[in-house]
């Protein structure tokens, strides 16, 4: 689970360019829509940006808890013994697909955004009613709605969260994914459109994609190495157990000699 949590944060962190490109305009518009007295105070502006993003991350966590609950049920129905291993390998493939998508080599991953569009059509009017944002609570609630905006990257991370194993771990996984995106989104909110040039740099996107692919491949490698180590430890444990339980074999002549020796000693 420790590797999965590291992977969650890594996916979010390395997807900064994608997040700025897709949501930088949203956070920039939200910042410009705040009252002038809020925009002119750097600390007040930062507090609203953080509330937007905390709400967004809370939305991710709700979705992660839901998907992890479904995945936990699949573990039991598919194979109680090998279900978790199967989901781990599926998660690794999804992570590689996310890396290819970030690098621009697999744009078809965006097609999975259509899965969430029916839900978004219901949630979008709720978000519209919260605008313009004039209070911290409005900012937090708008962020909560914003977290359900259809996004291929987020959906890829949610598919990965299927392997979390429990509702709590699924929520934690998506929470760390969201925290990984926070530095980029907070910067985009403070600097508005001045960071979009970085997001459009092909080299930055490729580097981010390759980094996520590497994270995706580390998981299966760790599973293989760990499985081999466990197998060798099991074999060594079996050999030691046999040697401890093996009794020395006494031949009939050794038994008679020992008896005579005992009798001779007893006579003296």
Domain positions in the chain: 2-219
pLDDT computed for residue 225 by the predictor: 60
Across 232-240, average pLDDT: 55
Residue 198 has a pLDDT of 64
Residues 6+ apart with CB under 8 A from 108: none
Residue-level pLDDT at 24: 79
pLDDT reported for residue 57: 97
Work out the angle at residue 81's Cα, subtended by the Cα atoms of residues 90 and 76, and round it to the nearest 5 degrees: 75
Average pLDDT, the chain: 80
Higher pLDDT, 194 or 54: 54
SS3 state of residue 249: coil
pTM: 0.77
For residue 222, the model assigns a pLDDT of: 66
Of 146, 137, 118, 160, residue with least CA distance to 11: 160
Weakest mean pLDDT among 147-161, 212-226, 239-253: 239-253
Confidence label for 236 from pLDDT (cuts 50, 70 and 90): low
Confidence of residue 260 (pLDDT cuts 50, 70, 90): very low
> pLDDT tens-digit profile of 114-153?
889 999 999 999 999 999 999 999 999 999 999 999 998 8
Angstrom CA distances, 106 to 20, 109, 199, stand at: 19, 6, 17
Counting beta carbons within 10 angstroms of the beta carbon of residue 64, is it exposed (0 to 12), middle (13 to 18) or buried (19 or more)?
A: buried
> pLDDT tens-digit profile of 68-116?
988 877 777 766 667 667 777 887 888 898 889 888 898 888 888 888 9
The token pair that represents 220 in the structure block: 């299966």
- Look at residue 248 in the predicted model and tell me its pLDDT: 53
- pLDDT of 45: 93
At residue 53, the pLDDT reads: 96
């Amino acid at each position: 689970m420790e590797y999965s949590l590291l992977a969650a944060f890594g996916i979010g962190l390395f997807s900064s360019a994608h997040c700025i490109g897709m949501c930088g305009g949203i956070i920039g518009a939200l910042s410009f829509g705040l009252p002038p007295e809020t925009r002119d105070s750097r600390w007040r502006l930062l507090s609203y940006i953080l509330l937007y993003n905390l709400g967004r991350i809370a939305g991710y966590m709700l979705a992660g808890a839901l998907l992890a609950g479904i995945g936990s049920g699949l573990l039991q129905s598919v194979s109680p013994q090998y279900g978790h291993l199967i989901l781990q390998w599926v998660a690794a493939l999804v992570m590689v697909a996310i890396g290819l998508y970030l690098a621009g080599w697999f744009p078809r991953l965006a097609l999975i955004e259509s899965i969430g569009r029916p839900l978004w059509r219901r949630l979008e009017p709720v978000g519209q009613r919260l605008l313009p944002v004039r209070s911290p609570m409005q900012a937090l609630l708008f962020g909560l709605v914003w977290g359900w905006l259809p996004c291929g990257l987020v959906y890829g991370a949610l598919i990965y969260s299927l392997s979390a194993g429990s509702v709590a771990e699924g929520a934690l996984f998506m929470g760390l994914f969201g925290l990984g995106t926070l530095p980029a989104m907070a910067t985009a909110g403070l600097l508005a459109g001045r960071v979009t040039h970085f997001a459009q740099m092909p080299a930055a996107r490729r580097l981010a994609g390759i980094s996520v692919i590497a994270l995706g491949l580390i998981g299966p490698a760790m599973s293989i190495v760990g499985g081999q180590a466990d197998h060798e430890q099991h074999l060594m444990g079996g050999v030691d157990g046999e040697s401890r339980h093996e009794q020395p074999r006494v031949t009939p002549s050794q038994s008679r000699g020992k008896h005579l020796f005992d009798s001779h000693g007893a006579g003296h």
